[in-house]
Structure 1
């Protein structure tokens, strides 16, 4: 628990030192709402711990001596992969190209089929065998290959969040029962650099497809509508090639990851009386499946001030539930600490739920990983994994 909260604090601290200048003053209500969200979140944790005060201590560690039958998850992942590819490349006729925007537009303009809906859910069982084996031993190569399929799928259509999600989940699984050593820190740095490099390449390709100069994008992109680069960044145009790219990467990543906080602030200035959408973002997949009955509003995003731009977790929570989002945070905090308690007790089929909720907590200043990055799908799979893995696991304390 402490590890997650420390990383979340670091993410917030980075927010205050990135070399970007906000265009607008921060809205007071937005700041109070963010503070209230954390207050209710920690209240949920503390009350849950008070109820289960006789549960395992936070420093208790367990070694799992039996593992679940991963074959079920493996075949469900393969089936999901098959359904997803059939829907996307056969039934909907999507053609991969170097222009990521064309692929994303084609996906948006064609209706997903029933096979596609099933595939988008089952697809993320690809994660389960690799993550559960990685907890305690070296995973089989076939599980590693299966784990990479969602990552490769995201790279092919130019999406970056899924690459980051896969890396975070893998690191969470690897270090849950292992100590951090210098060699492992170096390994993390190499993997993180690779992920960052992939992200930067995808950004550059997308800008080149639009005929947009890199530094021009820092001042004119969607992210720049709330956050502008500092003069120190802009001077990079007149420096060496290496410094040019270093400053571009720093500023672009800063704008990309933190503009959502200021988007929420701007939303409160732009439309402070927005009507709550009753979870259309947070429970998006449920609304989509039941759209004939619920009348899911596909124009939901059109009501936001800037199109195609992320809102922070808190912004989407407010748009979905208004002030009731504070009570959602209370439940979220209790659910997160419950999933951690289950993992500590040896019920590793809770691990995907615990690790992904931890990821959501860390990314709160950036955006809602429940709504974005196919978070709805991953969390659905996490709950299905819990339902499937109802067998008891033998553990030994050490």
Structure 2
């Protein structure tokens, strides 16, 4: 085994995870929705996508103005300096907050174009280009999550809309893409660790990182990675595989670590903190203090761990309701172009449930962005109906 457990895996951890999955499946299965999604077939798809792209462009420009001008982030700074500047800033400008939220639906044009099969090459190229806009912020802050998110959006969308099928060639392509993605992720990690300014060997720093506290690497692997006589390329890819395995699996064991800890109940403050932050800063005019009772602070706890902090075993009810929400979008998926992007996003959420929580923090922004997009679509429908009546 490349890694071994440090703590005993608790029965309560397993039972809560299984109960949450059961709640999700039951919630999806027990409800049926009658929809009027056929109404959305009347929307002028080209005009809608152009309006959406223009709105997203404005939002990204506002976000970049906030980052580069007001927060003073720069590509010439290292990751640590940019993160420090970003955390020190306190944005209360409504336009910047709105832009930060709405830009989260950057993948909507791409998914909609795949869904409706629009023939415009210019729109298609533009929509694909927008997929990579989040990498500007990722390059500034040294975050790896956007790389994986974009890759999953593309792959899941192509499979959902049957643009590619499971066969040997595509599987090999997926393997190569995954290998390249892990390599990029590793490069970001190495650069981030080097910029910490430590005098220790970077391999020793990484093999002694936070991932290893609860999911400890095998001693032979650590010795191999730290061996100065081993070729650097071999060590790099051994470390890539180790880190990838830990990245995928360690969240469950972080959750296991806190499940019987005496930590306060968050009542939504941990998972839904953007709403509390928004209220404190813009309504109550108070200094917002982040609620994070987890003893290990900056680690992923899976979606189950996040909701456990907020609601304990009542998390099962949350997943039951979440299953119902997924059924609503799935029911509308076939005939509605505006619901399709959320189905892709929900698929990503489901994939990452045991890894980290896409429903926490900025992960809920696409749902807010969808609500705004939904209003825009109804505006187009209203204009269309008014035009039809007048003629």
For residues 332 and 375 of structure 2, the distance between their equivalents in structure 1, rounded to whole angstroms, comes to 13
For residues 381 and 193 of structure 1, the distance between their equivalents in structure 2, rounded to whole angstroms, comes to 32
**Where do 4+ consecutive residues of structure 1 move more than 4 Å?**
63-66, 292-297
For residues 117 and 150 of structure 1, the distance between their equivalents in structure 2, rounded to whole angstroms, comes to 16
For residues 209 and 345 of structure 2, the distance between their equivalents in structure 1, rounded to whole angstroms, comes to 30
For residues 157 and 250 of structure 2, the distance between their equivalents in structure 1, rounded to whole angstroms, comes to 29
- Could you tell me how far 1:245 is from its partner in structure 2? 1.7
Seen in structure 2, the aligned counterparts of structure 1 residues 296 and 321 have a Cα distance that, compared at 3 Å, is farther
Alignment-derived partner of residue 172 in structure 1? 156
Unmatched tracts of structure 2, length 5 or more: 36-40, 382-391
For residues 259 and 126 of structure 2, the distance between their equivalents in structure 1, rounded to whole angstroms, comes to 48
Query: Which of 182, 191, 197 matches 2:177?
Result: 191
Alignment-derived partner of residue 318 in structure 2? 328
Alignment-derived partner of residue 24 in structure 2? 41
Alignment-derived partner of residue 105 in structure 1? 84
- Could you tell me how far 1:383 is from its partner in structure 2? 2.9
For residues 284 and 384 of structure 1, the distance between their equivalents in structure 2, rounded to whole angstroms, comes to 20
For residues 266 and 232 of structure 1, the distance between their equivalents in structure 2, rounded to whole angstroms, comes to 25
Query: Which of 30, 45, 50 matches 1:67?
Result: 45
2:366 aligned with 1:383:
no
Alignment-derived partner of residue 119 in structure 1? 99
For residues 340 and 310 of structure 2, the distance between their equivalents in structure 1, rounded to whole angstroms, comes to 27
TM-score, normalised via structure 1 length: 0.82
The 5 A counterparts of 1:365-376 are 365-371=354-360, 374-376=362-364
Q: Could you list the per-position Cα deviations for residues 102-158 of structure 1 after superposition, in whole angstroms to 9, with x for gaps in the alignment? A: 211211111123232112112234322222113336652222222211123212321
TM-score, normalised via structure 2 length: 0.84
Seen in structure 2, the aligned counterparts of structure 1 residues 141 and 204 have a Cα distance that, compared at 3 Å, is same
Q: Could you list the per-position Cα deviations for residues 154-176 of structure 1 after superposition, in whole angstroms to 9, with x for gaps in the alignment? A: 12321111111111112222222
2:229 aligned with 1:266:
no
CA contact (8 A) 1:20 1:227 kept: yes
For residues 146 and 338 of structure 2, the distance between their equivalents in structure 1, rounded to whole angstroms, comes to 21
SS in structure 1 at match of 2:295:
coil
For residues 132 and 343 of structure 2, the distance between their equivalents in structure 1, rounded to whole angstroms, comes to 21
Seen in structure 2, the aligned counterparts of structure 1 residues 266 and 253 have a Cα distance that, compared at 3 Å, is same
Alignment-derived partner of residue 216 in structure 1? 204
CA contact (8 A) 1:83 1:118 kept: no
For residues 235 and 155 of structure 2, the distance between their equivalents in structure 1, rounded to whole angstroms, comes to 31
- Could you tell me how far 1:232 is from its partner in structure 2? 4.0
For residues 98 and 27 of structure 1, the distance between their equivalents in structure 2, rounded to whole angstroms, comes to 44
Alignment-derived partner of residue 233 in structure 1? 221
CA contact (8 A) 2:79 2:141 kept: yes
2:339 aligned with 1:339:
no
CA contact (8 A) 1:283 1:371 kept: yes
Query: Which of 291, 314, 339 matches 2:304?
Result: 314
SS in structure 1 at match of 2:133:
helix
CA contact (8 A) 2:82 2:140 kept: no
2:352 aligned with 1:363:
yes
For residues 382 and 23 of structure 1, the distance between their equivalents in structure 2, rounded to whole angstroms, comes to 42
Alignment-derived partner of residue 25 in structure 1? 8
For residues 246 and 287 of structure 2, the distance between their equivalents in structure 1, rounded to whole angstroms, comes to 31
SS in structure 2 at match of 1:112:
coil
Alignment-derived partner of residue 163 in structure 1? 147
SS in structure 1 at match of 2:216:
strand
CA contact (8 A) 2:277 2:288 kept: no
| Number of corresponding residues | 360
- Could you tell me how far 1:218 is from its partner in structure 2? 4.3
SS in structure 2 at match of 1:26:
coil
Unmatched tracts of structure 1, length 5 or more: 1-17, 56-62, 393-398
Alignment-derived partner of residue 11 in structure 1? none
Alignment-derived partner of residue 342 in structure 2? 353
Seen in structure 2, the aligned counterparts of structure 1 residues 366 and 300 have a Cα distance that, compared at 3 Å, is same
Seen in structure 2, the aligned counterparts of structure 1 residues 368 and 37 have a Cα distance that, compared at 3 Å, is same
